Structure 1
Amino acid sequence: MKQALKLILSTLFGACIGFGAVVLCITFFTETTLSEFFGNMGNIQLSRLLLSCILSLTCLILAVFVQIILHEGGHLIFGLATGYRFVSFRVGSLTLIKEKGKFRFKRFSISGTGGQCLLSPPDKPYEQLPYFWYNAGGVLMNLLTAILALVLWVAYPEIPLPLHLFLLFSFICGFFLALMNGIPLKMSGITNDAYNLILMHRDLNTRKYLALQLAVNAEVQKGVRLKDMPDEWFPNDEVTDYRNIMQVAVKLLYISRYVDRKEFETAHVLFSEIERHKEEIVGLYVKEIECELLFLELIGERRKEEIERLYTDKIKRYIQRYKIMMSSKQRLLCALALYWENQPERAKEIYEKVARKRDKYLLQGEVNSDLDIMETMLREAQIQA
């Protein structure tokens, strides 16, 4: 019921915004006042109104899509200009990567983000990491293209209506995105570009955390497992601020190495320790921590009350949402089928499906690790049977 109500309210809200945009466009381009428009609504043909709605909404959607691409393109251009190297470029869930010298598309998404440009850091000490232009590039690109769209919109009023509308919406969307990322904000616990810049300006360690995350991500996409990366990349630093998303991210990478090494008891202790601070941690990371704790409980003590505590409806939905893009969720489903649902054949099917589709996953190092762990689980289950 709650989800249905949320869907209805969001749909109505979107419809109101769309109708408002259409009314403003019609009154502006036809030199009709708002009072005249509403007074003569009965004389307006329904087909004309629908056509205006479709045209305006199409231009708006296209402008949003283009501005998202431009935002991530800004990160890419300014990052490459300051020594970073290309890793991946994502809009929505469509992700462009360079694999074995060739570009190809894969699917991946992160809740709370419309896109993401990931680069590997230049080979410099983190104290000298050129962080400003890489982080500010998206805002600058949105702002520059918004101004350009406004100039063209004003300078060429006689161009075709669809293009005129597109330029207007490009200005509005570009300016809005520039504000949303240029004013320091946390949205659902996720920090925007301006917030990250402030963190890195104030704290040298935050620059180190950014460099580590980018370096690890680049290697994971190449197929390198966490356990095979240099030890010095994973300092066991104490988390002093659990609201600092970068500190927590590096800590989670450090703990995840123990899972990859199959040192499950140590991983369970460390994940349990960080879970105690879940009220301070961004929601996305809390779900990841709970998924890993659920997995570790399934292959460990298998306490019924603990599994039921962790395996909530919220976590079930999270698993279903990301199971196609993240092999770690398939590893969890394999453990659930094997140890909770007592369906060894189902567990084997999950493993075989991941093995067949391994090349489609973005995080190749993660899928290599998860397949290895699932193989161990199935082999030990067969021995015990």
Structure 2
Amino acid sequence: MKEESEGAILEENKKKAKKSGLKNVGFFLICAVIGMTLGIVSATLVPNMPADVGFYAIAITVFCFFIGYLLHVPIHEAGHLVFGLLTGYEFVSFRVGSLTIYKKDGRYKKANFTFPGTGGQCLMNPPEYNDGKFPSFLYNIGGVAMNLAVSALALLAISETVSMWGNLFLVGFALAGLFTAVVNGMPRKINGFPTDGYNIVTMRKDEVANWAFWIQLRANALLTQGERPKDLPVEPFLLDAQDDLANPMNTSAYMLRYNHYLDQKEFDKAAQVLTEVTPFMDKMMPLHRNEINVEKVFLELIGDNDPAVIQELYNEELIQHVQATHNWMNKKRLAMAYEWFQRRDADKAMESYRELVDMAERYPLQGEADMERMLAEWLKDQIH
């Protein structure tokens, strides 16, 4: 049996290595296609470009393409902001990379908050949900529209009065915007994350997903303003068991129930929520699957504290996720519980406690921060 198990593991590792190799080959092929495309487009669009600078022109255009892609991240999020404001949304937060600007009590504040797998995010408070409808199309398509509009302006700015290098930058910048628009506009998932196009198509087909998307936006706005998870009404999060809880929008809405019970220290009810979503976890986006496992580990630590269960859940994937989201407050709570209940190291547990308290002062979701502080105090009592 042991030999069969080792053989299966070896075969699985070979498959992973082959898949990884194919991904690398695919990446280089994509880069090559992008390079040739940029070269051809540059030669076509840039006026009076000397033939003897062809290679350098391609290299500069490729460089400008990647710089342009970075610039189109805030442009994309600005599109969501502009079209959201035009359709009755209210500003909540705007993030580029880890820099987050959020509004609380009428004042703009700054925070450091990362969201793995995304370059930016614009969250807004939506208008009221009436008769199964709210204006969602323009808010979702706003980023794509802004990328296309700015790219079109860049192409129009190409002229003989601009230097060759300036024109090359405009070409690379415009193509980066087109690339960003296509990637975000296609109805698909990228590494499990739904694109704007995916949201639009799914919400038009599925009324539950439409409702769940609205719930996420409204709950996020309330939490940013300081509303506690326990104060959010739990009824809207009661999706039916037959609903697709692997859908990212449905998962996010459903997990609001978990925090609702966690904030009241009703750990049995919180655990029941995790049990209900478990059958869908294989199809979930990695972020949601890992976050659910984080909470499973936490409940196990403060409950039965079975080392075998914790070891099974706390695998390599989860360790990497915890490291990538180290500035999320629930990771400090997890570390605090792990250091005490598993390792009986009160000093390290209290170190995580102090980090959590310090983080709470500048956390974008103030309602969630208050919940985490409450749970940290409860854990502190267990230690002492």
Q: Which TM-score band applies after superposition, normalised by the shorter structure?
A: 0.7 to 0.9
> Which residue of the partner structure matches residue 305 of structure 2?
302
> Which residue of the partner structure matches residue 286 of structure 2?
283
- Residues 126 and 207, structure 1, Cα contact 8 Å, conserved in 2: no
Q: How does 1:327-342 map to 2 (within 5 A)?
A: 327-342=329-344
Q: Alpha-carbon deviation of 1:193?
A: 1.1
Alpha carbons of 1:18 and 1:247: their partners in 2 closer, same or farther (altered >3 Å)? closer
Cα deviation code 1:159-216 (max 9, x no counterpart): 1344312210121111111111222111122221111111111222222111110011
Q: Helix, strand or coil: the match of 1:278?
A: helix
> Which residue of the partner structure matches residue 189 of structure 2?
186
Alpha carbons of 1:224 and 1:189: their partners in 2 closer, same or farther (altered >3 Å)? same
Q: Helix, strand or coil: the match of 2:157?
A: helix
Question: What 5-or-longer segments of structure 2 have no aligned partner?
Answer: 1-12
> Which residue of the partner structure matches residue 108 of structure 2?
103
> TM-score of the superposition, structure 2-length normalised?
0.85
Q: Alpha-carbon deviation of 1:252?
A: 1.1
- Residues 119 and 218, structure 1, Cα contact 8 Å, conserved in 2: yes
Q: Alpha-carbon deviation of 1:113?
A: 1.7
Q: How does 1:246-257 map to 2 (within 5 A)?
A: 246-257=249-260
Alpha carbons of 1:126 and 1:356: their partners in 2 closer, same or farther (altered >3 Å)? farther
- Residues 35 and 58, structure 2, Cα contact 8 Å, conserved in 1: no
Q: Alpha-carbon deviation of 1:218?
A: 0.8
- Residues 92 and 103, structure 2, Cα contact 8 Å, conserved in 1: yes
Tell me, yes or no, if structure 1 residue 30 matches structure 2 residue 50: yes
Q: How does 1:198-277 map to 2 (within 5 A)?
A: 198-277=201-280
Q: Alpha-carbon deviation of 1:284?
A: 1.0
Q: Is the deviation greater in 294-303 or in 185-194? A: 185-194
Tell me, yes or no, if structure 1 residue 63 matches structure 2 residue 83: no
Cα deviation code 1:72-120 (max 9, x no counterpart): 1111111111111000111222212123322232122222222111100
Question: What 5-or-longer segments of structure 1 have no aligned partner?
Answer: 38-48
Cα deviation code 1:20-41 (max 9, x no counterpart): 689769978331397xx6xxxx
Q: Which amino acid aligns with 2:267?
A: F
Q: Alpha-carbon deviation of 1:277?
A: 2.3
Tell me, yes or no, if structure 1 residue 78 matches structure 2 residue 80: no
Q: Helix, strand or coil: the match of 1:338?
A: helix
- d(CA) in 1 for partners of 2:39 and 2:200? 39
> Which residue of the partner structure matches residue 4 of structure 2?
none
Q: Alpha-carbon deviation of 1:359?
A: 1.9
- d(CA) in 2 for partners of 1:143 and 1:353? 43
Q: How does 1:22-171 map to 2 (within 5 A)?
A: 29-32=49-52, 56=61, 59-125=64-130, 127-153=132-158, 156-171=159-174
> TM-score of the superposition, structure 1-length normalised?
0.85
- d(CA) in 1 for partners of 2:191 and 2:164? 38
- d(CA) in 2 for partners of 1:361 and 1:236? 29
- Residues 119 and 214, structure 1, Cα contact 8 Å, conserved in 2: yes
Q: Is the deviation greater in 110-119 or in 283-292? A: 110-119
RMSD: 2.9
- Residues 328 and 367, structure 1, Cα contact 8 Å, conserved in 2: no
- d(CA) in 1 for partners of 2:295 and 2:272? 11
- Residues 258 and 273, structure 2, Cα contact 8 Å, conserved in 1: yes
Tell me, yes or no, if structure 1 residue 196 matches structure 2 residue 196: no
Report how many residues are paired. Answer: 362
> Which residue of the partner structure matches residue 322 of structure 2?
319
Q: Which amino acid aligns with 2:52?
A: T
Q: Helix, strand or coil: the match of 2:361?
A: helix
Q: Helix, strand or coil: the match of 2:161?
A: coil
- Residues 82 and 133, structure 1, Cα contact 8 Å, conserved in 2: yes
Alpha carbons of 1:101 and 1:108: their partners in 2 closer, same or farther (altered >3 Å)? same
Alpha carbons of 1:126 and 1:254: their partners in 2 closer, same or farther (altered >3 Å)? farther
Alpha carbons of 1:26 and 1:97: their partners in 2 closer, same or farther (altered >3 Å)? same
Alpha carbons of 1:64 and 1:340: their partners in 2 closer, same or farther (altered >3 Å)? same
